[in-house]
Amino acid sequence: MRLLVVGGGGREHALCLALRRENPDAELYCAPGNPGTASIATNLPIAVDDLDRIADAADMYGIGLTIVGPEAPLARGLADRLRAEGRAVFGPSAAAAQLEASKAFSKEVMRRAGVPTAASGTFTDLGEALGFVDRQEEPLVVKASGLAAGKGAVVCPTRREAGEVVRSMLGDGAFGEAGRVVVIEAFLAGEELSVLALTDGHDVELLPPSQDHKRLLEGDRGPNTGGMGAYAPVSIATPELLERVRERVLLPTLGEMQRQGTPFEGVLYAGLMIDRGEPSVVEFNCRLGDPEAQVVLPLLDGGLTDCLESIASGRGVRRVRTSARAAVTTVLAAAGYPDAPVKGAAITIPADLPSGVTVYHAGTRLDDDGTLRVNGGRVLNVTGVADRFSDAQRLSRDSAARIAFDGRQFRADIGWRERDRIGR
């Protein structure tokens, strides 16, 4: 089997490791990959947005299945390109990837499908948007409609702050093209939950539910980030709740995508708010979450490759086996993250980290002399897996604290809600 993973972050390192566990003899490639994937796959120095070279590589290396990690190449049509060339690819079309690439599109799909979500308005005109803000109750959420690397949603406690964010997006172009359309929503109360579903557009296979931690600082304070850590599974995600998510969120959304001629195949990621046991959609993504993949994939006991290949080949969804263990990942971020990450610091990873710990590379580079250096905002993801949540949390936290580089930032409280809930 010849497999290609597109991407170069922590999610793709986790994907490569999961695929390698299931396929020890496979020829595995990653484009562009990173120093972590280099130990388990052959890295190809191709940017994720270079669709021509990725397609050429699939031909050159005889790739049997391509798995696209990031959202940007999906939104640009990489899956369409490979399918048009007769290649099996796991990931949605550009038209279907609008569920993530356009929050305005996603809101309209949810409205037509009757999926529970926050009341909202969509705007391109600054004056109309500000007038809408003035008529709403506080707090509000202002979102750049386009792709903004997980940082385009701003929770605004007051109308005044919401107005400032709207001006920065529509007036000042703070998010560039991604912010030329803004979605202004009512604030949803509750607890966040990420549900990732492998789907052929009709059926779904749910992966272990997880919870991300978006704020930079402990206690969920500070600026929004792409994600500072995650854990899985989540005790509030009972079988009954997950069935409601399937029946009220996932299947209606897939049905509406079919009706409008943009069937969705790949990972449908539902970012949810759970309030008194009822789910509402905060956002949809069109790929595995990051850092959610780094806690979800280690909990799979087999069947992932078979399911991805079956969906990509048009043979439907297959079951994936899941362990009963727990996983926690702590993100190590660069100095200055999220606004202005400082690159170049040398990284030291102890050779004696305990069993049950995996360090996923996200934003790293390797110098010719073998020095590992910071090369992005989110640098490493330190995942602990154990039978008990508290042990997984301790493994992740303590191991993260032992990894050193100048300006290192991390949260020592990943999974704090679960700790307070279950106490073990």
What are 23-35's pLDDT values in tens digits? 999 999 999 999 9
Does the domain at 326-422 match CATH 3.40.50.720? Answer given as no
As annotated, the residues of the chain forming the CATH 3.30.1490.20 domain(s) are 119-186
Phi, psi (deg, nearest 5) at residue 393 = -65, -45
Q: What integer pLDDT is reported at residue 423 of this predicted model?
A: 67
> Domain 2-94's class?
alpha beta
**Does position 151 have pLDDT exceeding 80, yes or no?**
no
Q: Which residues pair with 31 in a beta bridge?
A: 6
pLDDT for the residue numbered 174:
84
Correct CATH for 191-322 of 3.40.50.10490, 3.30.470.20, 3.90.550.10, 2.40.50.140: 3.30.470.20
- State the CB neighbour count (10 A cutoff) for residue 315: 11
pLDDT band at 337 (very low <50, low <70, confident <90, very high): very high
User: For 100-132, how does the pLDDT look when each residue is reduced to its tens digit (9 = 90+)?
Assistant: 999 999 999 999 999 999 999 999 999 999 999
Q: Which residues of the chain are in CATH 3.40.50.20 domains?
A: 2-94
Least confident span in 105-114, 152-161, 317-326, 410-419: 152-161
Higher-confidence position of 104 and 150: 104
Assign 424 a pLDDT band (cuts: 50, 70, 90): low
Return residue ranges of the chain for CATH 3.90.600.10: 326-422
Read off the pLDDT of residues 209-248 as tens digits, 9 standing for 90 and up. 999 999 999 999 998 899 999 999 999 999 999 999 999 9
| Mean of the per-residue pLDDT values of the chain | 96
Q: Is 90 exceeded by the pLDDT of residue 137?
A: yes
The CATH architecture of the domain made up of 119-186 is 2-Layer Sandwich (3.30)
Percentage of the chain exceeding pLDDT 70: 99
Range in 6-10, 53-57, 419-423 the model is least confident about: 419-423
Region 246-272: mean pLDDT is 98
CB-count burial class (<10 Å; 0-12, 13-18, 19+) for 229: buried
Condensed to tens digits (0 to 9), the pLDDT of residues 53-78 reads 999 999 999 999 999 999 999 999 99
- Residue 176's region, left for phi above 0, alpha for psi from -120 to 50, else beta, is left
Closest CA to 266 of 107, 113, 114, 66: 66
